[in-house]
Each structure stands twice: as C-alpha cells, then as structure tokens.
Amino acid sequence: MNPSPTVTMTPTMMATIRERVRRIKTMPAIPAVFLPLLKLLAKEDVDVEEVVRLVSYDSAIAAQCLRVASSPLFAMAQPPKSIKGAVMSLGLRRVETIILTCCLGQAFPAKKWVLDPIVFWRHSLGCAMVCRKIAEKLAGADREKAYTAGLMHDIGFMVNCLVFPKEFAPVMKRACEEGIRLDEVEHATLGFTHCETGRALAEKWELADDIIEVIAHHHAVEDSRKAQPLVALVHLSDLLCRMRGMGYGYYERHKVDLIADPAWAILQKQYHDLEGVDLVRFTFELDEAVETIHTLVSMIFGPTPATP
C-alpha cells in the first residue's frame, strides 16, 4: 500500500480554505438544533429527554426519526407514535445518524455534490458501524466516541463539493477512471485534501478536539499528536469499508495490508487485547453488517447506485 501523502500547508493555502469555509454561512442554513444535538450526543451521560426536546424542534428530523423507526428494518409490533418513542426505539446512535444526514443534507444540497451523497453517507455510516464493532473488542475503548468519529471523518468532502466544486470535479473523475485513492489525487491536483477542508469546518463548528484530530489525520495517523488511537481506529475502519465495497463508488486498485499498516501497531500498543482479534474472520463478519447499512442508507436517501 502506498503511504498516505503528508500535506504541507502554506499559510496562504490554509487561509484560502478557512475563508471559503467561513462563507458557508451564506449557503442554506444548517438547522439551529444541529450543533446543540451533536454536542449533547457527544456527552458520556446523555439526557434522552433533552435529545427528544431538541429533535422535536425540527420537523424534518422528527419526521425522519418517526419514519425510520416505523420501517420494516426494526419490525416493531407497534410503530412508535411519539418522538420520544422513536428516539428510544432507534437508539441514540441512529438518531445521531439521522440528524447528520438531515441537517447536512439541507445545508449541502444534493445538486452541489460532486461525490454522490448516497455513496458518501453509505461509506460514512459503514465506517461508523465498523469503528464501533472494533471498539467493542477493545477493553476500555469508547464505542460511542468511535461511532461518532467514524461518522464524521470525511466531512471535508462536503466542503470540497460545496466550496471547491470546479477544483474537485476533475479530482473525482481521475480517481474513478484510474482507481486511485481520492486523497492521493486531491494532494496531487489541489495541493490539499478533504482532511484540511474538513478540519477547517470542524473548527468552525467547534467540534470536540479528538473528532477534529480524526478528521484532520485519518489518512496520516503518524501525524496525529492527540487522540492517536482513535485516529488509528478510524483509519483502519475506513480501509476495511473500502475493502468490503463501501468506498466512494468505484474500485480502488491499491493493495491493503491492514496488519502492516502503522495504525495497527498504534492500536496494538494502546489495546493489548487486539492481538487476540482474528482480522480475517472479522472482515467476513462485516458482510453481515453491510446489508443493514445499505438498508438504512436506502431508507434515508433511496436506493444505492450500482458501483461502476
């Protein structure tokens, strides 16, 4: 596997990125409940009543929660009639997924996307679920933080689609045609990647420091100075998803050796019980989760397009 390129940002380049991200406020507004809900769900002890109250303030989020909770995916004898019932039956992590997809879908309209939004969310949700699955095998790992980090790791692609559309379109085209990793093409063509643009957006939104670290360094784990085990976990989950057909809508030709990846060594140093994980068996276990991921994404967005 080719090493992830390390981007050396010039002050001018970073200033340009931050200025364009700052202008996002002139785009369609993110619902007012978005950031308060994200911060609430990031807490260790989440107040479910407060989640219900905030969800109830936004009709689109509330309706989506009720629709998904009433879907065949959950096969409930009595579909929930209230927002509280929907939140309780869905669980906080699925509510978090719906919040992100609803709110960011409003702020980043589909017509603005260069990368197909269905493909994007399929990968993001897949990565979140894989992060949690790995974290469940590691004593002391924060499963919910891992889920959130996986869900948010690629938000820089939204920035690229919205505020760098002309520059990002040929990047996407070349990556698809040549089967090259998107971050490699971004670096070669733009001089920056979705990691830098994602970091600028995460800082604008004042997200938690460890989530910002994941967004900024998930393709170059060695560059992370804080929350490195979490960054390594997301990095490996990202690779696993792309190996199992939950990438960016095209086949990547590079070979992946997870155990030889520096992120694996970082996780092993932090979590000694990782040595007992059968990685080959684990990758096949992911296939069982893939169908659920596709079903949930299809419910929110419609059918997932076929991979070319």
Q: Is 70 exceeded by the pLDDT of residue 8? A: no
8-22, 131-145, 163-177, 249-263: which range is least confident on average?
8-22
For residue 308, give the DSSP letter: -
Cα–Cα dist 73/297, whole Å: 11
Helix, strand and coil in the chain, % to nearest 5: 70, 0, 30
Q: Output the CA angle 242-246-252, nearest 5 degrees.
A: 40
DSSP state of 212: H
Please give the single-letter amino acid code of residue 116: D
Query: 100-137 pLDDT, tens per residue?
Result: 777 776 666 667 788 888 888 888 888 988 898 888 88
Averaged pLDDT, 170-181: 92
* Cα 192 to Cα 220: distance, rounded to the nearest angstrom: 13
| 21-59 confidence digits (pLDDT tens) | 776 654 445 667 777 887 787 777 888 898 888 888 888
Residue 26: the pLDDT is 46
Residues of the chain with pLDDT > 70, as a percent, come to 85
Q: Alpha-carbon distance 253 to 243, whole Å?
A: 10
Radius of gyration of the chain (CA): 19
Give the C-alpha separation, 261 to 88, whole Å: 39
Can you say whether the dihedral through the CA atoms of 86, 87, 93, 99 is positive or negative?
positive
pLDDT for the residue numbered 221: 93
Give the whole-angstrom CA distance, residue 39 versus residue 94.
Answer: 15
Confidence of residue 233 (pLDDT cuts 50, 70, 90): very high
Instruction: Return the DSSP state at 153.
Output: T
- Joined together, the tokens standing for residue 37 give 């809900």
What number is the average pLDDT over the span 73-82? 75
d(CA 292, CA 158): 24
Q: What is the CATH number assigned to the segment(s) 110-308?
A: 1.10.3210.10
The helices-and-strands tally (H runs, E runs) of the chain is 16, 0
Q: Above 90 in pLDDT, residue 235? A: yes
CA distance 93 to 231: 19
The residue length of the chain stands at 308
Tell me how crowded residue 257 is: count the other CB atoms within 10 A of its CB: 9
Tell me the whole-structure pTM to 2 decimals. Answer: 0.81
**Strands (E) located in 245-298:** none
Q: What is the pLDDT of residue 220?
A: 92
**Residues 6+ positions from 276 with CB-CB distance below 8 Å:** none
Query: Rounded distance, CA 2 to CA 227, Å?
Result: 24
In angstroms, rounded to a whole number, what is the distance separating the alpha carbons of residues 218 and 130?
A: 15
Where in the chain do CATH 1.10.3210.10 domains reside?
Answer: 110-308
